[in-house]
Amino acid sequence: MTPRATYRFQFHKGFGFADAERLLPYLDALGISHVYASPITVAAAGSMHGYDVVDPTRINPELGGEEAFRALATAAKARGMGIVIDIVPNHMGVAGGNAWWNDVLAKGQASEHAAVFDIDWRERIVLPVLGAPLSQVLADGDLTLSRDGGRWVLVAYGEHRFPIRDADQAAADRMPLAELLDRQHYRLASWRVANDELNWRRFFTVNDLAGVRIEDPAVFAKTHALYFRLHDEGLIDGVRVDHVDGLTDPIGYCQSLRARLGPDAWIVIEKILGVGEPQPVGWGVDGTSGYDFMEQVSTLLHDPAGALALAEAWDRISRRGEFFAVEEFEARQDMLSWQFAGQLDGCIAAFAALATSSAEGDGITRAMLRRAIERLLWVFPVYRTYGTGDAAPAQDARTRAIVRERVEGLIPPGEDAVTDLVLAWLAGDGPGDTALAAEAVRRFQQLSAPIAAKAVEDTAFYRYGRLISRNDVGADAETLGISLDAFHEAMHERARHVPHAMLTTATHDHKRGEDMRARLAVLSTDPATWVGHADRWMRLHADHEVVADDRYMLLQTLVGVWPVDGAADDLAERVKAWQQKALREGKLRSSWEAPDEAYEEEAAGLVDDLLADAAFVQELADYVAALAPAARANTIVQTLLRYTVPGVPDLYQGTELTDLSLVDPDNRRPVDYAMRERLLAEGMPAKMQLIADLLALRRADPTVFTDGDYRPVEVTGSDRIVAFERRAGGRTLKVAALIRGVDVPDATVQFADGERAAIVLFADRPIWFEIA
């Protein structure tokens, strides 16, 4: 069943299924058809997000368990509603409480669960869990032997427990500890070796999340049995697949998922689309989970005419350059050498083995392959390609052509052939053993995806500050804004290829809330005024030795996050938490691995002093007030488009009201539902009222939204009006919206049934819609 509209809940021990069940009347009255649940299976104890799954076969008792989930599903069905769940096929949490992982540690390859995890069994499992080298930990007495449930276990720092293999149980307490350690299926090591020596695939750089071999049919069946049962019993109507690009064969996985769930299940995938990358047509899914729409509507709201002035201001202030591409290139180099060296070594080894399996690979050294693979990854334009070693989908040809063009000037003299050979293997038409080719291609593709994510989203986005509203998940930060024609073309493609994909503008992973981005987008329409304020504010409290680019991004953050009714008590702490994370993710003056606490304290002091500066606060509040009319208009336009263009609109928890949230965990704060229920009954603010009105239309006239085409409507006299029609079943939805400012132009909108003057359409607000 395709949802009419979804509402995302973040489940955790403080907000469970019973809480969601109590809110069903509210969601139903708002017009929502489906609860969209964060992962519901057993996760690490106390998990606030659920993506660290430790048992995919059971529903998490911290959320209420299966009984409470069934009650939620039953109550939803009684209202004609349903549930969609988030599933995590790529990885499992292994920090503690994962019986499958612990069994693998105890039994090695003999474990019945050994095939679940993506482990290189040529050596013992590396566990980078120690705070110092093993020799020091042993010398300090931080590793001891203890009895637990009648068995000997190793205990690190008095709390972390590791199993002892069966063969050593009888003599464990009589054996020197170092010797006992050498006999285990795992090797305890300092956390600092993880990036270089880890011999199992992890999720990005998170040592607590181990990659799962979902491509193995037995593992697929084992880890998905619960989801299939819930669907077969009618308790869920579909799934959102987390991080599909982490899998060995995303397309094959999605097709298998569709075959098992059937044609009526709604399946969307979390996938970041690169610039020009096509929708996942032919995958067996309904589309993506909506980051691409978030990017499309964001670039529509931002004015491309402001790009040069904003870029010049950023370069003048930061001296880091005008272009995001430079930051991305450097960040890709950093991540590949700093945090993925071990995975890169494994990839190179796989290609070296492949090279030796054919005459064409004769004379190609590992060093040559390293240089070729590194350089390809430095300039890769998308998360990954989708080859299998002996074939590749047609869409990959465009990616390979782009990367070959980009890498040309980076190839060492005389090594073009090596680069071309790697690309041939990715295309599935290179020489050599097909099994070795499949392994080499797999390793490359499962490396390119995390490099893209960590370099762009978790590094370069925190280094580049032309306008931070353009630095969000799925965004191309090089692009400030797009033309109306480009937006219309994207919506036309959506209607043609993925009419039931998810549409979202806020998620649990966004860097900035949807209305914060909408407010900051206004700066692109008048960069001169913004730069004037920023230049003056940059000089304030100069006694704090905070680097200019950090100051500039802080000022943008304060403009974006400033509450419409004035500073709240928690504002300073929220901003300082964002700032610390931004500094550490940027890895220029601090990092998670080696925090520079002195610099972080200096930066935090700047936040406190700015917010204690009455003159600055008044100027900031006045500037935000001046932005408010256009910012509110952006919010309304963004909301209108999410609920009217082709697709299934999602509403992230709480964002029916103004969303000025920052990066997680700020965007996962508790939601005041009592207030929202009261507003629904007594009178809603503009954004919430618009959502309710549009959802009422979708409920009353579903066909035009689910099956309607998309037809751009000609506008004469202005390039600041987006207008379109959608038709199906004899009904027509007409939509028009004013963008990039609130001044109504002298323009005419040429709908099929006649023209309408902009001054009439936008007499009361910057949007207009009608269905007839």
**Percentage of the chain with pLDDT > 70?**
100
The per-residue pLDDT for range 158-214, each reduced to its tens digit, is: 999 999 999 999 999 999 999 999 999 999 999 999 999 999 999 999 999 999 999
What was the pLDDT predicted at 565?
Answer: 87
The per-residue pLDDT for range 541-552, each reduced to its tens digit, is: 999 999 999 999
For residue 95, how far is the Cα from the chain centroid? 22
For residue 642, pLDDT beyond 90: yes
What was the pLDDT predicted at 609?
Answer: 98
What was the pLDDT predicted at 254?
Answer: 98
What was the pLDDT predicted at 464?
Answer: 98
Average pLDDT of the chain? 97
The per-residue pLDDT for range 269-317, each reduced to its tens digit, is: 999 999 999 999 999 999 999 999 999 999 999 999 999 999 999 999 9
Residue 580 CB coordination number (10 Å): 17
How many alpha carbons lie under 13 Å from residue 251 in its C-beta half-sphere?
17
The per-residue pLDDT for range 90-111, each reduced to its tens digit, is: 999 999 899 999 999 999 999 9
Strands 41-43 and 82-87: unpaired
Tokens of 289: 């989970």
Collapsing DSSP states into helix, strand and coil, what is residue 324?
A: helix
For residue 354, pLDDT beyond 90: yes
Burial classification of residue 455, based on how many CB atoms lie within 10 Å of its CB (0-12 exposed, 13-18 middle, 19 or more buried): buried
> Once rounded to an integer, what is the mean pLDDT over residues 761-768?
98
What was the pLDDT predicted at 734?
Answer: 98
CA distances from 336 to 15, 374, 482, 547 (A): 38, 8, 31, 26
The per-residue pLDDT for range 255-267, each reduced to its tens digit, is: 999 999 999 999 9
Tokens of 272: 């970041």
For residue 30, pLDDT beyond 90: yes
Q: 758: closest CA among 726, 702, 711, 714?
A: 714
Residue 53, phi then psi, degrees to nearest 5: -65, 130
Are the beta carbons of 404 and 419 closer than 8 angstroms? yes
What was the pLDDT predicted at 564?
Answer: 86
Q: How far apart are CA 4 and CA 694, in angstroms?
A: 11
Q: What is the DSSP letter of 741?
A: -
Tokens of 643: 């609920």
What was the pLDDT predicted at 747?
Answer: 98
Collapsing DSSP states into helix, strand and coil, what is residue 169?
A: coil
The per-residue pLDDT for range 39-77, each reduced to its tens digit, is: 999 999 999 999 999 999 999 999 999 999 999 999 999
For residue 676, pLDDT beyond 90: yes
The per-residue pLDDT for range 419-469, each reduced to its tens digit, is: 999 999 999 999 999 999 999 999 999 999 999 999 999 999 999 999 999
Q: 688: closest CA among 696, 161, 261?
A: 696
Q: 215: closest CA among 265, 239, 258, 251?
A: 251
